[in-house]
């Protein structure tokens, strides 16, 4: 990374919600400053303070103590609170942090947009019945976002995992040895099945 702030750990001053106490803490910058000088940060604490939400272990050696990054809650803070730069994370770890933040937002979107629609009470004669309704939850949405972030829009690791698990399941049945592959349509699947039989 060649950015000035993104992916770097800084020691920053943070005022607590009671507005009376201030503490210097390490935080990871998720972006460059916006037009107002604000940066989105996630805080870092020692491993012994694990009573919080979703965290990632900070790679050893970046800070003098074993630490965790709190990816479930980010803060928009002005760059003026930066006291000094402490370390630079590598690209692989920073991608994990960004994905965790994006997955948190994906979950929030699902819970506030899709879940209320899915939980609507059925009213006879008024509620629409989709003939081919999509059935999904937050896990499918997160997997979809994860796949798109890696730019695996077709064949990729999710497809490979699905084929392996389907083959393993089918091979537990009383059938000849089966290998699964995915295709673009039901028609293509039928043609492959007929060709395999011949």
How does pLDDT run across 84-109, given as a tens digit for each residue?
999 999 999 999 999 999 999 999 99
Query: In terms of pLDDT, which residue wins out, 127 or 87?
Result: 87
Choosing from 72, 89, 106, the residue where a domain stops is 89
Task: For residue 19, tell me if it sits in a domain.
Answer: yes
Residue 29 has pLDDT above 80, yes or no: yes
Residue 58 has pLDDT above 80, yes or no: yes
Task: Report the CATH number that the domain containing residue 43 is assigned in CATH.
Answer: 2.30.30.110
Separation between Cα atoms, residue 22 and residue 15, nearest integer Å: 4
Segment 151-161, tens digit of pLDDT: 877 778 888 88
Residue 26 has pLDDT above 70, yes or no: yes
In which order are the strands placed within the sheet that holds 55-57? 55-57, 67-78, 38-46, 22-29, 8-15, 82-88
Task: For residue 106, tell me if it sits in a domain.
Answer: no
CB atoms < 10 A from the CB of 8, how many?
19
Q: Smallest Cα–Cα separation from 60: which of 31, 26, 89? A: 89
29: phi then psi, degrees, rounded to nearest 5: -80, 125
193: phi then psi, degrees, rounded to nearest 5: -65, -45
Tell me if 57 sits within 8 A of 100, measured CB to CB: no
Span 153-179, average pLDDT: 80
Task: For residue 143, tell me if it sits in a domain.
Answer: no
3-state secondary structure 144-178: HHHHHHCCCCCCCHHHHHHHHHHHHHHHHCCCCCC
Separation between Cα atoms, residue 84 and residue 5, nearest integer Å: 11
DSSP 114: I
Task: For residue 113, tell me if it sits in a domain.
Answer: no
Task: For residue 32, tell me if it sits in a domain.
Answer: yes
Q: Smallest Cα–Cα separation from 97: which of 27, 18, 20, 191? A: 27
Task: For residue 172, tell me if it sits in a domain.
Answer: yes
Q: What is the pLDDT of residue 7?
A: 95
Task: For residue 104, tell me if it sits in a domain.
Answer: no
Provide the domain limits for residue 35. 8-89
DSSP E strand boundaries for 5-103: 8-15, 22-29, 38-46, 55-57, 67-78, 82-88
Residue 143 has pLDDT above 80, yes or no: yes
Q: What is the pLDDT of residue 102?
A: 94
Q: What proportion of the chain, given as a percentage, has pLDDT over 90?
A: 44
Residue 23 β-bridge partners: 14
Task: For residue 134, tell me if it sits in a domain.
Answer: no
User: Number of structural domains, the chain?
Assistant: 2
Segment 14-25, tens digit of pLDDT: 776 666 667 889
Span 103-127, average pLDDT: 89
DSSP 32-45: ---TTSEEEEEEEE
């Amino acid at each position: 990374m060649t950015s000035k702030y993104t992916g770097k750990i800084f020691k920053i001053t943070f005022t607590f919600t009671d507005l009376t106490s201030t503490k210097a803490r390490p935080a990871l910058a998720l972006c460059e400053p916006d037009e107002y000088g604000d940066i989105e940060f996630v805080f870092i604490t020692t491993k012994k303070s694990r009573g919080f939400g979703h965290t990632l272990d900070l790679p050893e050696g970046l800070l003098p103590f074993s630490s965790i990054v709190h990816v479930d809650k980010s803060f928009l803070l002005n760059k003026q609170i930066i006291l000094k730069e402490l370390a630079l994370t590598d690209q692989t770890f920073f991608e994990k942090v960004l994905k965790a933040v994006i997955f948190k937002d994906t979950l929030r979107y699902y819970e506030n947009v899709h879940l209320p629609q899915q939980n609507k009470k059925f009213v006879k004669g008024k509620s629409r019945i989709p003939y081919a309704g999509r059935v999904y939850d937050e896990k499918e949405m997160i997997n979809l976002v994860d796949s798109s972030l890696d730019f695996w829009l077709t064949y990729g690791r999710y497809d490979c995992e699905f084929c392996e698990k389907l083959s393993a399941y089918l091979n537990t049945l009383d059938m000849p040895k089966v290998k699964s592959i995915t295709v673009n349509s039901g028609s293509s699947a039928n043609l492959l099945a007929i060709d395999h039989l011949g």
